[in-house]
Amino acid sequence: MTVRKQAQEIVRLLIICPLLFQMSCDSFENERETGSGNPSAPDRSVVVTSNYPLYFLSRQIVQGVDAAPDIVLPDIEGDPVHWVPSTDQIQRLQTADLIILNGASAEPWLNWISLTQRKIVNTTAALSDRLITQDQSVRHQHGPTGDHSHNPTAFTTWLDPTLLTQQARAIEHALTALTPEHATQYRRNMSALAQSLAGLDQELSKVFAQLNDRPVLFSHPVYQYLQRRYKINGESVHWEPETEPSTTAWIDLQDKLVRHPATIMIWEEEPLPATRKRLHDKGIATVAFHTVSNRPPEGDFLSAMRLNTQALGATLEMSAAE
């Protein structure tokens, strides 16, 4: 091979390698969006889920089933409750065979977009008597009459594993109606999933039992179902982990601590170091208990909840030692 030919080969490789790399990246991105390790077959049904817990449940139910529906979690940045679907995402929702929703006000975007009603599955529709209504929003009116408020239901139902099991059953029924030929496998997977969720419920019960009715603070009012399920003596503030609380917020906290002397504060994410230090100075330990509403950086819903449990357990032990 001449030097000229060798040079040509090298140039060719230099062109092809980045292209191959780009193609592999694209395919990875597609996997992230669809959530499926297998390329979508054109004849497979498409099921879109509105948050990560529902995606996790659906994937568990169809696990190992050949030609099962393609379970999709849209590419949502941040908390799915604040999601405003893009035009492409709306079209994807409209062309899906099934849209699995959490219900309980977790999908405010439903109020703004047009979808086919018969494709929608509200997994908490049968749980209306167990949903928690919030009554903390500011009322407003335009002129002298017509006052109103936006009064949503607490939406993090998945933090109560017993509710989550019921939601999983609703998904199983919907998937069975969509692809009845896989009913037996869905039922088998659902049994295994119910056992896993029962195990999670036991773990959470055990760790929260250590609180023994000690007052707890929640950084945000998103733990209502967790609080009710495990009888946590908790109160919520409206603090954001990435923001330094204002002076008013600290004064309000001080007032709250007088009647609710909490020593532990549960956060959605790790708070800023300065906030953590100031809380520590007040004798309040902080712990992150992720709601896992969106895809965790690693692992799955169960492993993320176990990490939550371990972190909480460790904090409680440390707090007790102090």
Partner 1 sequence: MTGALFLGWRYLAHHRIKTSILVAATALMLFLPAGTRLLVEDGAAALRARADATPLILGAAGSELELVLNTLYFHAESPRTLRHAALEKARATGLATLIPIDARFRAQGAPIVGTSLEYFEYRNLTLGSGRQMGLLGECVIGANVAASGGLGPGDSLISSPETVFDIAGIYPLKMKIAGVLARTGTADDAAVFVDVRTSWIIQGLGHGHTDLAKPGAQSAILDRREDMITANAALAQFSEITPDNVTGFHFHGASGAFPLTGVIALPPDQKAAALLRGRYQNSDSGLQLIVPKTVLSELLDTVFTVQNYVILGLVMLSLATLAVISLVFLLSQQLRTGEFRTLSRIGASRSYIALLITSEIGFVFLISVALATALTLITRHFSMQLMRAFLSI
Residues in contact with partner 1 by the rule CB under 8 A: 84-87, 90-91, 94, 108, 111-118, 138-144, 146-148, 150
Return the number of the residue (150 or 206) whose C-beta is nearest partner 1: 150
The single-letter DSSP state of residue 128 is G
How many Cβ atoms are within 10 Å of 147's Cβ, its own excluded? 10
Cβ atoms of 293 and 273 within 8 Å: the answer is no
Q: Provide the minimum distance between the beta carbon of 139 and partner 1 in the complex, in angstroms, as a whole number.
A: 5
Structure tokens at 39: 């390329």
Q: Residue 63 and residue 188: Cα distance in Å, rounded?
A: 10
Name the strand (E) or helix (H) holding 216.
strand 216-218
Nearer to partner 1, 80 or 161 (CB): 80
Name the minimum Å distance from CB 113 to partner 1.
6
Q: Which is nearer to partner 1, 108 or 313 (CB)?
A: 108
Q: How many whole angstroms separate alpha carbon 290 and alpha carbon 304? A: 8
- Sort strands 98-101 and 120-122 into parallel, antiparallel or unpaired: parallel
> Which residue's CB is nearer to partner 1, number 4 or number 139?
139
- Of the candidates 49, 36, 38, 60, the one whose C-alpha atom is nearest the C-alpha of residue 93 is 49
- Is there a contact between 267 and 287 (Cβ–Cβ < 8 Å)? yes
Residue 196 CB, nearest distance to partner 1 (Å)?
A: 34
Please say which residue, 151 or 254, places its beta carbon nearer to partner 1. Answer: 151
CB of 76 to partner 1, least distance (A): 15
CB of 120 to partner 1, least distance (A): 11
